[in-house]
Amino acid sequence: METKLEQWSVADKAVDLVLLFSVLFHVDRADREALFQQLFTRMAPNGVVAIVSPLPKAAIIRLVEGLGNPAKVFHDEMADKEMLAAGFKLVCKQDLKGPADWSQPLEFLVTLGLHLTDNLASEQEVRAAIDDLYGSFTGSGYFHKTLAIFSK
């Protein structure tokens, strides 16, 4: 189920699992603590929150920042402390790195770059930023993210 936190009603059932996949860098740091507290109150006993986030130096983050739209936050040590303060327990944390197929990166990255900059950057600006960052790179590459799993 996909929903917005504000749309959860008090009568809704508690949830067993929340997956935040590449979400935190869209959330203002000031709003993160409230998000984690809301998640805790809406989780079933023994509920799990899994957070997957790109690392600060990930290429997509550098691309978006290069277009003038800095990421709001990453999953960092402060996020861990805020999850713990909200009542969660850290079960595990792991860096994830693996192969990525970048054989056709341009159109995907242009669309993503436009979306992540709220269309404030032009398509030409996005393409120029991609060229600056990746050059003519195609082929195999790697993704690098962090996975953190918390339980209630």
Task: State the Cα–Cα distance between residues 14 and 41, nearest whole angstrom.
Answer: 8
- List all residues 6 or more positions away from 92 whose beta carbon is below 8 Å from its beta carbon: 147, 148, 149
**24 pLDDT above the threshold of 70:** yes
**84 pLDDT above the threshold of 80:** yes
**2 pLDDT above the threshold of 60:** no
Residue 65 pLDDT = 75
**58 pLDDT above the threshold of 70:** no
Arithmetic mean of pLDDT, 64-87: 77
User: Which of 12-16, 38-42, 115-119 tops mean pLDDT?
Assistant: 38-42
Residue 132 pLDDT = 75
Predicted TM-score (pTM) of the model is 0.68
**Can you name the residues that pair with 151 across neighbouring β-strands?**
48, 89
**Band of the pLDDT at 1, cuts 50, 70, 90?**
very low
C-beta contacts of 55-59 below 8 A and 24+ residues apart = 55/95, 55/144, 55/145, 55/146, 57/144, 58/143, 58/144, 58/145, 59/133, 59/134, 59/141
Residue spans of alpha helices (H) in the chain = 29-42, 59-66, 77-85, 105-116, 123-134
Q: Distance between the two ends of the chain, CA-based, in angstroms?
A: 20
C-beta contacts of 115-119 below 8 A and 24+ residues apart = 116/60, 116/64, 116/67, 116/69, 117/64, 117/67, 117/68, 117/69, 118/69
Domains in the chain, start-ordered, CATH in brackets? 15-151 (3.40.50.150)
Percentage of the chain with pLDDT > 70? Answer: 72
Task: State the Cα–Cα distance between residues 70 and 22, nearest whole angstrom.
Answer: 14
Mean pLDDT of the chain: 78
**139 pLDDT above the threshold of 60:** no
Is the C-alpha dihedral spanning 105, 110, 112, 113 positive or negative? positive
